């Protein structure tokens, strides 16, 4: 059985559920979203977009991840951002289909199938 712990990141306002069997919790602040899938690759499990100057600029989820990996993203940029899975991966909407993240909104994702499939949990 996986060990879980909860972390609240006051910088992002996101409550993270961390499976300590897979990774050490990490956070990245001050991310600038850019145009296109794969241009800004997320490397932490807690991520804050601080700059999204143009609607539909994007960030991309990791390509390699275990089952039950949790990732949180908050958009504090001025415009709507897109969150893409890595190339050929899915967020449950089909391969390479992004989700929109409005300014001020946060999303929490959990990996369902290692290295291919995420689900939105909030």
pLDDT, tens digit (0-9, with 9 covering 90-100), for 47-72: 999 999 999 999 999 999 888 889 99
pLDDT-derived band of residue 110, with 50, 70 and 90 as boundaries?
very high
Q: How do residues 7-42 score in pLDDT, each as one tens digit?
A: 555 555 655 555 554 556 788 999 999 999 999 999
Q: How many domains does the chain have?
A: 1
CB 60 within 8 A of CB 84: yes
- If you search the block for the tokens 């979203």, which residue do you land on? 33
How many residues are recorded in the chain? 122
Three-class secondary structure assignment of 8-44: EECCCCEEEEEECCCCCCCEEEEEECECCCCCCECCC
d(CA 29, CA 41): 13
| Structure token pair of residue 77 | 């940029």
Q: Supply the range of the domain harboring residue 17.
A: 4-120
85 neighbors 60 (Cβ within 8 angstroms) = yes
The domain spanning residue 66 has which CATH number?
2.60.120
């Amino acid at each position: 059985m996986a060990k879980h712990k909860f972390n609240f990141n006051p910088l992002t306002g996101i409550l993270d559920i961390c499976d300590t069997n897979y990774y050490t919790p990490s956070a990245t602040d001050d991310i600038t979203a850019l145009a296109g899938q794969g241009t800004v690759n997320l490397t932490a499990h807690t991520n804050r977009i601080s700059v999204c100057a143009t609607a539909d600029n994007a960030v991309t989820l990791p390509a390699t991840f275990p089952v039950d990996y949790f990732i949180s993203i908050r958009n504090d940029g001025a415009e709507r951002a897109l969150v893409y899975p890595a190339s050929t991966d899915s967020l449950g909407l089909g391969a390479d289909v992004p989700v929109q993240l409005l300014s001020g909104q946060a999303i929490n994702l959990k990996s369902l199938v290692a290295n291919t499939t995420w689900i939105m949990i909030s």
